[in-house]
Amino acid sequence: MDIVNLSAFELATAIKAKKLSSKEATSAFLKRIEETDGTVKSFLSVNTSALKEAEQRDAELASGKSGPLYGVPVAIKDNMCLKGSKTTCASKILEDFTAPYDATVIERLKAQGVVFLGKCNMDEFAMGSSTENSAFHTTTNPWDSSRIPGGSSGGSAAAVASRQAPLALGSDTGGSIRQPAACCGIVGLKPTYGRVSRFGLVAFASSLDQIGPFARNTEDCALLMNAVSGYDPKDSTSINRDSADHTAGLKDGVKGMRIGLPSEYFEKDPSAEGVKSVLEAAKVFEKLGAKVEKVSLPHTDYCLAVYYIIATAEASSNLARYDGVHYGFRDKDAKNLRDMYNKTRGKGFGSEVKRRIMLGTYVLSAGYYDAYYLKAQKVRTLIKRDFENVFKNFDLILTPTTPTPAFKIGEKVSDPIQMYLSDIFTISVNLAGVPGVSVPCGFSAGGLPLGLQLIGKPFEEAAMLRAAYAYEQATDWHKRMAPVK
């Protein structure tokens, strides 16, 4: 039994049946991390207590405890609080910050009996599309170490793709789960805004951020969604409604489903490999019994501008708390209070974070608030209405996840606009607050993974996952494993 190649469902089944212990499974993944992370660099820290946690899970299982993920190892993006562990957000300003409490998603995973493998690398404060903005190191793509894994949750995606972890959590503000999932050839889901608690997630842009799962297949993704979703009174944006069982109708197929292909996502570069692979995927859905038709999301061209006004404005507000006074890094050479603020933030933040703070401060400033921020919020409403209008007649929307396969490390770091365009197909989902999932749908001529994006109605992740599962069963893209050794 090659443990690291097993799916989370297979691991959980074997552990429950006593064919495998949680300690054996955890040991195998820790060994895999030791063997491969010198190349992939997925992790910022590995949990030194993981084996003790696994032993405890085995004892609990022996006493009768059980659950769908009991004893299964999971990796966590390093912007979620895990009590007693460092939570750095891949930033020097939080380099020595130890979380004093657990995020709600961590509490729920502990209740499910998972084992935490460690904290994964990311773009600093989740600001980026390549994981090159980490203050500590750049994570590489498991399919080609000269290329980026995507971002900002690149460490989590790379950990799952390289079989260092069967499951991982990431966060998605404008594509930060779906884009790296596509780049690394795995499944990544951004839930409906309010479906998963953000309590204990270090905020980037509070009206856009959502925590979601990474997995190697749709079934595993559904299991992790079940574990972390649900109402949380500690999060004022959490929606108080019954949690769906995302595995219940997973195998019901797509017959009779109506799937929309938004023209705006396909017209600009119809010859692109990603576009072609998604159009081929549309034919698969039709063969499976779905009806696929063209639709329009007319305000798509405004999404990028709207996103980089709203997201930076919220980042400017959220990151004002990192001033060296209460917690985090403080410059010791400051001569007075103002000097301390300037030097702390100047040394503690990286260049991309500073860029976004300055952009956000500008659009919120007197004289520019109405012209930029207020107008962006109005256009955001129009973008949301576009989705509402399509979903009156369609169950799902199908698009590419990324405009290109994973690009070379260093290729776009000096061109922020080109970097921002990496998320052009994903940001509308966050602006509208709807769910989206990326699923492997092919490979480029250079052998790099390509992903399709399914977008669903609010709180209908189960229907979205059902379609993703049906596509997986008709293809074998998700079965291919990254060659990292």
Q: What positions carry a catalytic annotation?
A: 77, 152, 176
Q: Which alpha helices (DSSP H) does 413-460 contain, by range?
A: 416-420, 427-432
- ω into 422 cis (within 30 of 0): no
Q: How far apart are alpha carbons 450 and 385 in whole angstroms?
A: 29
Pair of tokens at residue 428:
């509308």
Pair of tokens at residue 269:
């570069």
Q: How far apart are alpha carbons 304 and 179 in whole angstroms?
A: 15
Instruction: With beta carbons less than 8 A apart as the criterion, state whether 225 and 97 touch.
Output: no
Amino acid at 332: K
Nearest to 122 by CA among 179, 63, 197: 179
Q: How far apart are alpha carbons 239 and 192 in whole angstroms?
A: 10
Instruction: With beta carbons less than 8 A apart as the criterion, state whether 149 and 121 touch.
Output: no
End-to-end CA distance of the chain: 18
Q: How far apart are alpha carbons 253 and 285 in whole angstroms?
A: 10
Contacts of 449 (CB under 8 A, 6+ apart): 143, 182, 183, 184, 185, 405, 406, 440, 442, 443, 477
Instruction: With beta carbons less than 8 A apart as the criterion, state whether 201 and 207 touch.
Output: no
Pair of tokens at residue 347:
């040394």
Counting Cα atoms < 13 Å in the Cβ hemisphere of 430 gives 32
